[in-house]
A and B are shown apart, each in its own frame.
Chain A
């Protein structure tokens, strides 16, 4: 059984993000008035969030570098049926790792948490944020699709079928959510559903390229 501090601690993130209902918000505020430890935690978290907001919105890897690395990796590893591991120069591998970390970190920070924390009511900044996040997702999907094309032939036919079938379902869901958003305008709940489908696509493409 959690005590009050543990329970409030779980809600601090949502509280500071303005995502709690009025009743829940009042409950948190009442607790913070009487608990100095939780109040300190809240203040620390508030400062962290403020600092995070001051960071660049995304860390975009130079596109030329990404494709150049991809192409050079391809040159280093001519296709050999059945051989999955390739030998590349350490420096090249390090560069690829840096780009991968940057992309993953940016996506994780900018995208992954947003659907969970999306407010139930649309705010004035919803439309620009939607456009920015949609652009981030679309770009990430394009990156992974390009990589997936390279690995597609290596996959067993049954795996290709599974991946293709699931990608088709995701694409339909994305199209439906986008169409609804186009008709309805900014809508955080629809956006959340759209981000979930985008995340599913990124995840599936990512896994398929690693097989």
Chain B
């Protein structure tokens, strides 16, 4: 009886260690430099990259049957990726990489999700319909997805773009965010310059405007919401053509500009010292005090 149980457990353990039917497990290791550029190409599966405190790259993963892993390079640069036997193959490849924390990493996918944690060097991630998640602020970050949601912690410099994917950005010093129809939520209280724009997606900023900072929010048709502390200290300039403005800071009325130039609301909150600029064509604008209940 004991022997049967042991055999059963052994079989289960072996089965767990093996890839799923039709998949092949891969593992590669390379010695690299602390700031080695690393390029990863995985069109259909998930790609996870984690920074670590070693000068080496370790790649593990599971590939669909017939797919080929290419992976090579050294301190000057590493390139890896998956080539599918059939480009129409829908079985995903899953790659997981450990890379030096200071590496500059470039990842491209089509339908796969991209997850990055703890890469402080530089990061360029592109996917078409996959989701992007970045934790641990890279010094320089570019993240783009056509349709997938993008969630990033920004570092010194960040640029994020989608067509219709929702975007959530936190932090950063110099931040640029653009979408067509996706929503954007930007939360920060120590940024220096940020520009957030959409064509029809709603934009939300939550946080504080540090002295000397400049925040621009612009949307043709999306609603713009700015949720800042009651102690806001900034020069505020709002322009809209057909949108409504709700302002929780003072009772200044929206004034019509001459020659059908729209309507504007300009005022200085507190001692000024920062710039908040909001511009919409027909999107409503709400300047709210943090903690106040918002309503559309």
Query: Interface on A for B, CB 8 Å cutoff?
Result: 1-2, 6-7, 10, 21, 23-24, 81-82, 116, 120, 122, 158-159, 162-163, 165-166, 169-170, 173, 176-177, 180, 183-185, 187, 189-190, 192-193, 196-197, 199-200, 203-204, 207-208, 211
Once A200-B180, A204-B180 are accepted as A-B contacts, the answer to whether A173 and B200 lie under 8 Å apart by CB is yes
**Minimal beta-carbon separation of A70 from chain B (angstroms):** 23
Chain B residues contacting A196 (CB-CB under 8 Å) are 197, 199, 218, 220
Chain B residues contacting A24 (CB-CB under 8 Å) are 235
7 closest residue pairs by CB, A with B: A82-B87, A184-B260, A7-B212, A173-B220, A166-B180, A166-B163, A2-B212
Contact A176 B129 (CB under 8 A): no
Chain B residues contacting A185 (CB-CB under 8 Å) are 259-260
Which residue of B237, B260, B281 contacts A173 across the interface (Cβ within 8 Å)?
A: B281
Once A21-B235, A82-B87, A173-B200 are accepted as A-B contacts, the answer to whether A158 and B129 lie under 8 Å apart by CB is yes
With A and B bound together, what is the CA distance between A184 and B180 in angstroms?
25
In the complex, which of the residues B235, B241, B272 has the most CB atoms of chain A within 10 Å of its own CB atom? B241
Interface residues of B in 188-239 (CB under 8 A from A): 192-193, 195, 197, 199-200, 210-212, 214, 216, 218, 220-221, 235, 237, 239
Contact A162 B220 (CB under 8 A): no
Contact B212 A193 (CB under 8 A): no
Query: Interface on B for A, CB 8 Å cutoff?
Result: 87-88, 110, 128-129, 144, 146-147, 161, 163-164, 178, 180-181, 192-193, 195, 197, 199-200, 210-212, 214, 216, 218, 220-221, 235, 237, 239, 241, 259-262, 268, 272, 279-282
With A and B bound together, what is the CA distance between A200 and B218 in angstroms?
12
With A and B bound together, what is the CA distance between A5 and B193 in angstroms?
16
In the complex, which of the residues B87, B260, B281 has the most CB atoms of chain A within 10 Å of its own CB atom? B281
Chain B residues contacting A211 (CB-CB under 8 Å) are 110, 128, 146
* Seed contacts A159-B129, A165-B164; 5 additional CB < 8 Å A-B pairs: A2-B192, A2-B212, A158-B129, A177-B281, A187-B260
